[in-house]
Amino acid sequence: MSVAGKHIVVTGGGAGVGRAMAEAFAHADAKVTILGRREAQLREVAAQHRYIGWVVCDVTDSSAVKAAFLQARGLNGPVSVVVANAGAAESVPFARMTPEQLQNMLAVNVGGVMNSWQAALPDMKAEGWGRLIAVASTAGLKGFPYVSGYAAAKHAVIGLTRSVALELGDCGVTVNALCPGFIETPMLERSIANIKDKTGMDEMTARASLVAGNPQGRFIQPDEVAGAALWLCSEVARSINGHALAISGGEI
């Protein structure tokens, strides 16, 4: 089974990995709806391909997500695949992290996944086929210093994935998480700028500090994550369920 004709919803679809996902699915002849908070970015991505529609939405707001999926169905019909890609990272030493900062990390990185998956699940159950995919991180598989809130949230995404996979195993819906290492996206550039600002490192040294954990000595590219998502949607991946797939060059 290919994704041709299937309706794919990608959250955080206006830039980076989300944009790469949307374009990859559209080129595979799927009908794609991208969700995000920034209308200009969404419009720019949608303009690249006639099979991409867009809806402005904050994934932390469950009511807004339900309304956005209703609008997405109006554009492209019942939803067959959700890629919950929207996320955020904040760097702060644990001793200075506030409860509000932790809640913010949980709201977007975990709550956004839950809201998006729940909004699409009735369509998938009715069809007897579906794919729920979360874009997590290697921070969901191991710890990293100074991003404990983010790592806690991504670990929660892995737990959510494995648990929901068990609940839905007999209804034709698979549930998996993608766990990339540092990806060459605008978020990476912000991380590098933050390191420079807080440590005084130059850009080359800051980049080297992030890439050092990858045995291949490079950053992950967005198309690699998009390709993994496409594979999870294929018929040959129908038994891949409850899995956290590291896309990290062997880092973990």
CATH number of the domain to which 225 belongs: 3.40.50.720
Q: Determine the structural domain holding residue 134 and report its residue range.
A: 7-182+221-247
Asked, for residue 1, whether it belongs to a domain, the answer is no
Residue 205, pLDDT above cutoff 90: no
Range 195-223 average pLDDT:
86
Asked, for residue 73, whether it belongs to a domain, the answer is yes
Asked, for residue 237, whether it belongs to a domain, the answer is yes
Asked, for residue 214, whether it belongs to a domain, the answer is no
Residue 220 confidence class, pLDDT cut points 50, 70, 90: very high
Range 89-109 average pLDDT:
96
Give the count of domains, the chain: 1
For residue 99, how far is the Cα from the chain centroid?
24
Catalytically annotated residues: 150
Q: Which two tokens stand for residue 2?
A: 């290919």
Residue 168 confidence class, pLDDT cut points 50, 70, 90: very high
Q: Across all residues in the chain, what is the average pLDDT?
A: 94
Residue 3, pLDDT above cutoff 90: yes
Asked, for residue 191, whether it belongs to a domain, the answer is no
Length of the chain: 252
Q: At 20, is the secondary structure helix, strand, or coil?
A: helix
Asked, for residue 30, whether it belongs to a domain, the answer is yes
Distance CA(86)–CA(15), nearest Å, equals 10
Q: Which two tokens stand for residue 215?
A: 């045995």
Read out DSSP for 175-216?
Answer: EEEEEE-SBSSHHHHHHHHHHHHHH---HHHHHHHHHTT-TT
39 CB neighbour count, 10 Å cutoff? 12
The per-residue pLDDT for 1 is 54
The per-residue pLDDT for 202 is 82
Residue 143 confidence class, pLDDT cut points 50, 70, 90: very high
Range 137-159 average pLDDT:
96
Asked, for residue 140, whether it belongs to a domain, the answer is yes
Torsion angle, alpha carbons of 233, 238, 240, 242, to 10:
90
Residue 151 confidence class, pLDDT cut points 50, 70, 90: very high
Asked, for residue 202, whether it belongs to a domain, the answer is no
Residues 53-81 pLDDT 10s:
999 999 999 999 999 999 999 999 999 99
Residue 186, pLDDT above cutoff 90: no
